[in-house]
Amino acid sequence: MYKATPDKSTVIDLDQNIQHGDGIENKSIMLKADVPLFVSIQDADFPATSVPELKPSDKEFLLVGYEPWYTRMSYVTVIAVEDDTKVEINIPDMDPPKWTATLKKLQTYTLRANKTVVTDFTGGRVVSNKPVTVYAGTQCSKITTDIRYCDGLIKVMPPIQELGKSHIVPPVPHRADDVDYVVRVIPSKGDTTVQFNETYKETVKKGSYAEVENLPASEPTVISCSAPCMVVQFNKGKEADWTSTDPFMSIIPPTDQYTDMFQFSTYNSLPRDFSADVNHTVIIVAKSDVISKMMLNKEKLSKWTWTEVEGKTEYKYTFMKVAEGDYTITVDEAKDKKAFAAWVYGTTEPGRNSYIVVSRYKGMYSIKQGNSSSLSPTT
């Protein structure tokens, strides 16, 4: 048992043998606490993911990934929290497309494949008879495939009932004016109409996805879907403009999953005795009428420079560099609990790692891995 002090970090060293392989294994960790927690994991090789507080309805998930580099793997891992959990994984372009397993409490089932078997797992689906946690992504990918360097892309997948129809993808600050980011949109139902800003529209079938590669990194993108969908942003690698950054992917919360409170920590320490400075930037998308009530710790966020989101004028966005430390974003006397979303974007010199921290999906704990992290609000 560990005792955590409010607003301070408690370090727990984990055996490296806990890393999972293929098939069914007994390699999961359950955290229980009497208050909400922010949990971080330092690992040199893998990017961020978050750990959800499971709900009874968490039984169906969409998958997202990207083409893995060279011989690296795409993978999906399912974690059971109850005995006799029956899991079915469907990857449309894989042979065979359906994989099944029956898990005991806290067992994991991992399916991996390199690009000679299937390009990636985007558009796949996980269905279970009992609540599970699902992770998916790649061991290392270039974004896009011709731009160096590669990095791991791993996230927890939100359950289908937490997907939405309206999304605002934030900019990626401090990149060159001519650099783009990539967005993939994976629908939960077939024949879903997906619209990017007001310029591009596509109808997407079940098991497939829409992708746009040339969205300016300096601007947000408004995405609407005719049915609930998962929206994922991919940051391009360092070679796109020689900015100190590696690829990352960020699952974008729909506007109906926004929050009124978000806690995060920024870290300057790095694994593998790699000495480098870390630059941290907070990015916020908020409803215009709550900005005057927003605080970052004791600082009024109305002092920051806010820009209206084109095509979604009831929202504005801002970003600002912050130092290493612990932070809380709040909305004073918030009547609207779906007020804002926040991201923390970090890069190192000379670009060894990047991280993306995301306020997303209510009732989530959080994990930080390597120099990459993903957070959720404590609700």
pLDDT tens for each residue of the chain, 379 residues long: 777 777 666 667 777 666 677 899 998 877 777 777 666 555 655 544 555 567 788 999 999 999 999 889 999 999 999 999 999 999 998 999 999 999 999 999 999 999 889 889 999 999 999 999 999 999 899 999 998 888 888 888 999 999 999 999 999 988 888 999 999 999 999 999 999 998 899 999 999 999 999 999 999 999 999 999 999 999 998 899 888 788 888 899 999 999 898 877 777 655 544 556 678 889 999 999 999 999 999 899 999 999 999 999 999 999 999 988 888 899 987 677 899 999 888 777 544 455 555 654 443 333 333 333 332 232 2
Residue 348 domain flag = no
Q: What is the pLDDT of residue 367?
A: 32
Q: Which domain holds residue 25?
A: 16-160
Q: Tell me whether residue 60 is in a domain.
A: yes
pLDDT, position 370: 31
Which pLDDT score is estimated for 44? 54
84 assigned to some structural domain:
yes
Nearest C-alpha neighbor of 315 from the set 339, 342, 281, 344: 339
Q: Does any domain span residue 294?
A: no
Whether 80 maps to a domain, the answer reads: yes
Distance CA 65, CA 75 (A): 8
The amino acid that residue 242 corresponds to is W
Say if 301 falls within a structural domain: no
What is the reported pLDDT for 376? 29
**Per-residue b or e along 57-91, where b marks 16 or more CB atoms closer than 10 Å to that residue's CB:** ebbbbbbbbbbbbeebbbbbbbbbbeeebebebbb
Number of domains comprising the chain? 1
Considering the domain boundaries, does residue 228 fall inside one?
no
What integer pLDDT is reported at residue 364 of this predicted model?
35
pLDDT at 361: 41
pLDDT of amino acid 276: 60
Whether residue 242 is contained in a domain is answered as no
Tell me the three state secondary structure of residue 292: helix
